A = this chain, B = another copy of it.
Amino acid sequence: MLNRSPAMNEEKVYQEKKIPEDTIIRLSYYLRALIYFLEENKKVVSSRQLAEFLKISHHQLRKDLSYFGHFGKKGVGYSSYELIDRIKEILGLNQQWNVCVVGFGNLGRALSSYKGFRDQGLCIKAAFDVDKNKQNKNYNGIKVYGLDKIQNVIKKENIRIAIITVPKENAKEISNQLYKTGIRAILNFAPVKLSLPQEVILKDVDFSCQLTYLTYRLKLSEKKNF
């Protein structure tokens, strides 16, 4: 690679192996399962039990965890409570993350009131929308601002993550604006490929694609049965 920045070499110090994105996603599932087991008063769980519950292989679960350290006791299993803590630490969920939602249509509203976020340290601090009628109102404790307030509110509320739910025509411009205010992590629901510098962590969620995968598979299984 040209122009390798010094930070690149140091990275190795912190992380020997590249960790698959799927592993990270599965970590969230492990966390959820562990919380469930703890609620059921299971204080120790084995990789087999967790894996069975989540319908994956126990090999994979142990392999995933092994990227990050040794969390279990051989012959015994994992302490639910401890492993929850460790996974939260790995995922960065032991701290609070302030989030904003840009675009306060149906989807923006849905995400703003989504219960699952808050107990993960994900805190939606503000929403933005062009529509004057929506502005300066509270919705489930979340205030809606005009787009011109993006810069100020993000700074003031120390927001690090943005969720884009604006129409696809406006998504690119909004994403650039967010970048300028210092946002480096975006969850994008607009069906467009955003053009942002590499340093931005970008995740696309695309409903149409997912539904279309279903139609593909349905069509396929029809062929099977003639």
Contact = CB atoms under 8 A, between A and B. Distances in A.
Contacts of A218: 92, 97, 160-161, 184-185, 201
Contacts of A90: 216
A55 interface: yes
Contacts of A187: 207, 210-211, 214
A215 interface: yes
A2 B26 contact: yes
Contacts of A10: 224, 226
A27 B209 CA distance: 9
Contacts of A219: 91-92
A221 B201 contact: yes
B2 A212 contact: no
A185 B217 contact: yes
A223 B3 CA distance: 20
A133 interface: no
A140 B127 CA distance: 24
A225 interface: yes
A105 B110 CA distance: 8
A21 interface: yes
With most chain B CB atoms within 10 A of its CB, the pick from A7, A21, A27 is: A7
Contacts of A226: 10
A211 B188 CA distance: 10
Given A53-B193, A106-B106, 12 more contacts: A21-B213, A28-B212, A90-B216, A91-B216, A111-B207, A117-B207, A120-B208, A121-B215, A160-B218, A161-B218, A187-B214, A205-B207
24 contacts: A1-B22, A3-B55, A10-B224, A11-B224, A14-B220, A25-B209, A28-B206, A28-B212, A28-B213, A32-B191, A91-B216, A91-B219, A92-B212, A92-B216, A106-B106, A107-B107, A109-B110, A122-B212, A184-B218, A184-B221, A185-B215, A185-B218, A201-B221, A205-B210
